[in-house]
Amino acid sequence: MRVVILGSGRGSNAEAILLAQQGGRLGAARVVQILSDKPDAGILALGPRFGVPAKFVDPAPFKTKLEGEGEARFIEAIRECGADLVVLAGFMRVLKPGLLNAFAGKIINLHPSLLPAFPGLDGIGQAFRAGVKETGCTVHYVTLEVDAGRIIEQARVPVETTDTLETLAAKVHAAEHRLLPVVIARLSTTAK
């Protein structure tokens, strides 16, 4: 299974995937490309470190969604890799029908809450401010509706009375780093 990772930030979840691959824990999946919509994103530095091609793809003309010319450039870059699975790991753009249709059923996302609770931006902060006793993270298929696709798997994280937003975020990120590689490995063994 050929995996392409899309990210906008420092790439801690991408690093967890690449470390799992390096350790032989990614099943039949292999990361073949890292793509970012930010030319200075930390995720791009992971490419040389792990021997995986990494490049910036111009997302213009929009700032928060992937549509028009930017979407076409991403579709082309993903197709060039022969991707079987597209993993959104901190990719901070809303996907539109062009990309979703081009890779229907092959795009997954990691979200920092137990969906359907707290979709959208700042899932950890939303959960913390709501005072829930438990939160976590979710890997789900991507659809037109943000964070509403079919759930693949979740990891639960208890919220302790002593937690701050920072300690809770650290616990959720640790759960994300464990969950995402496991899901990818499992999908690689069930892929047709």
The verdict on domain 2-190 having CATH code 3.40.50.170 is yes
- Domain residue spans of the chain: 2-190
What stretch of H or E contains 47?
helix 43-50
Of the two residues 66 and 177, the one the predictor is more confident about is 177
pLDDT (tens digit per residue) in 85-142:
999 999 989 899 999 999 999 999 999 999 999 999 999 999 999 999 999 999 999 9
- The Cα-based distances of 17 to 14, 27, 107, 170 in angstroms read 5, 11, 15, 17
Query: For the chain, what's the residue count?
Result: 192
Q: What is the reported pLDDT for 191?
A: 64
**Cβ burial 34-55 (10 Å sphere, 16+ → b, else e):** bbbbbeebbbbebbeebebebe
pLDDT (tens digit per residue) in 152-172:
999 999 999 999 999 999 999
Is residue 173 among the annotated active site residues?
Answer: no
Rounded to 5 degrees, φ, ψ at 163 are -65, 140
Q: SS3 for 1?
A: coil
